[in-house]
Copies of this chain bind each other. A is one copy, B any other.
């Protein structure tokens, strides 16, 4: 799928193996339908144990995860998802609600001890805090999606859900705020749509 070598006979341009590139990037696809095969709590922890190491600015790590697994919890979540997306989540053994912890600055004395005043700087400046939380939680959401694939599972990320209603239902104290819903499981045989195109290199990249 992707350019592997500069020219025939030359070494690969990647340090990452072709198998790993296929698993994470070139062959992986957003799944819309899942088998009944359960996803274990050890797998859910393994996803976190991997993606947590990828970088955030000032090591803020604002992303939090709610894993929705039980039938009772899924019954609370599925009606809050956009109707065309509901069957996708209903078929997934686990649905992750990715959320930003709006109180993330509390942990900065531990996470970024080199700059002790950072916690106060964020708490005094809501706009700075919000920008930082939005950007870094989105970075971490991307790492999370690739870590799901690294765990041998398919991910189905969805922006189509009622975030306000999800927050009221699952995060009533107002501290976590949902940003993305991700269906997780083993893909069913007909889990995929046709692959969508990408822009050309020359449309996306400039060199100076």
The answer to whether A67 and B205 have CB atoms under 8 Å apart is yes
Chain A contacts with B in 98-113, Cβ cutoff 8 A: 107, 110-112
Whether B140 lies near A206 (C-beta < 8 A) is no
Q: Which of A111-149 contact B (CB under 8 A)?
A: 111-112, 134-136, 138-143, 145-147, 149
13 other A-B residue contacts (CB within 8 Å) besides A17-B19, A41-B207, A44-B205: A13-B151, A14-B150, A16-B152, A25-B143, A25-B150, A45-B201, A52-B199, A54-B145, A66-B207, A134-B134, A135-B138, A139-B142, A139-B145
Contacts of A13 in B (CB 8 A): 42-43, 46, 151
Least CB distance from A99 to B in Å reads: 9
Contact A208-B25, Cβ < 8 Å, known A42-B6, A152-B15, A196-B112: no
The interface residues of chain B lying within 8 Å CB-to-CB of A151 are: 13-16
A137 to chain B: closest CB distance in Å?
Answer: 8
Q: Supply 6 A–B pairs (Cβ within 8 Å), ascending by A.
A: A15-B151, A16-B20, A45-B205, A53-B198, A67-B208, A170-B208
Q: How far is the CA of A40 from the CA of B170 in the complex (A)?
A: 49
Which residues of B lie under 8 Å from residue A53 when comparing CB positions? 1-2, 25-26, 28, 198
Cβ of A50 < 8 Å from any Cβ of B?
Answer: yes
**Contact A208 to B24, CB < 8 A, known contacts A138-B135, A139-B142:** no
Contacts of A59 in B (CB 8 A): 196
Known: A57-B159, A138-B134. A17 touches B20 (CB 8 A): yes
Of chain B, the residue at the smallest CB distance from A20 is B20
Q: How far is the CB of A187 from chain B (nearest CB, A)?
A: 13
Chain B hits for A51, CB < 8 A: 25
